[in-house]
Amino acid sequence: MAELTGRRILLVEDEYMLAAELAFFLERHGASIIGPFRSVAQALAVLDREPIDAAVLDINLGGERVYPVADALIARNVPIVFATGYDELLMERAYIGLPRCPKPIDKSALLQVLQRALAHVPSSSTARS
């Protein structure tokens, strides 16, 4: 059950229980969780301090959109997955083609999407060695 071993996953989710549940699930599958963070400012602050292999982002963080975090990660070639209640009609057009897991989140589908996103990305832990 260690499909994400060695992977550092940024988690940005403002709902405490869901954030805790996702963090626990991803850790059980071998990931190291960066976060969870509840705001854009918190998530952006960590980007220069922590190596990140992929990110799971909720789009709506208490009325604030996560898109600045998504843009910063895309600029760094870090794969992202939106975990959101938003359908494509509510998303900004630039992000529609990116991987998305609708809420309520099917954790096994999220795991598969993350694995696909990370398939060709070297682990940050091996990149630093």
Does the residue 42 lie in any domain? yes
Total count of residues recorded for the chain: 129
pLDDT (0 to 100) of residue 129 = 40
pLDDT (0 to 100) of residue 85 = 82
Range of the domain at 111: 8-116
Residues 114, 122: Cα–Cα separation, whole Å:
13
Residues 91, 46: Cα–Cα separation, whole Å:
25
pLDDT (0 to 100) of residue 128 = 45
Distances (CA, A) of 12 to 45, 46, 50, 87, 94: 12, 11, 14, 18, 19
pLDDT (0 to 100) of residue 86 = 75
Residues 6+ away with beta carbon under 8 Å from 29: 1, 2, 3, 4, 111
* Cβ-contact 13, 33 below 8 angstroms: no
Instruction: Give me Rg for the CA atoms of the chain.
Output: 13
Write down the pTM of the prediction. Answer: 0.92
Does the residue 75 lie in any domain? yes
* Cβ-contact 11, 24 below 8 angstroms: no
As for how many domains the chain has, the answer is: 1
Ranges of the chain whose pLDDT falls below 70: 1-2, 125-129
Does the residue 93 lie in any domain? yes
Specify the CATH number for the domain of residue 59: 3.40.50.2300
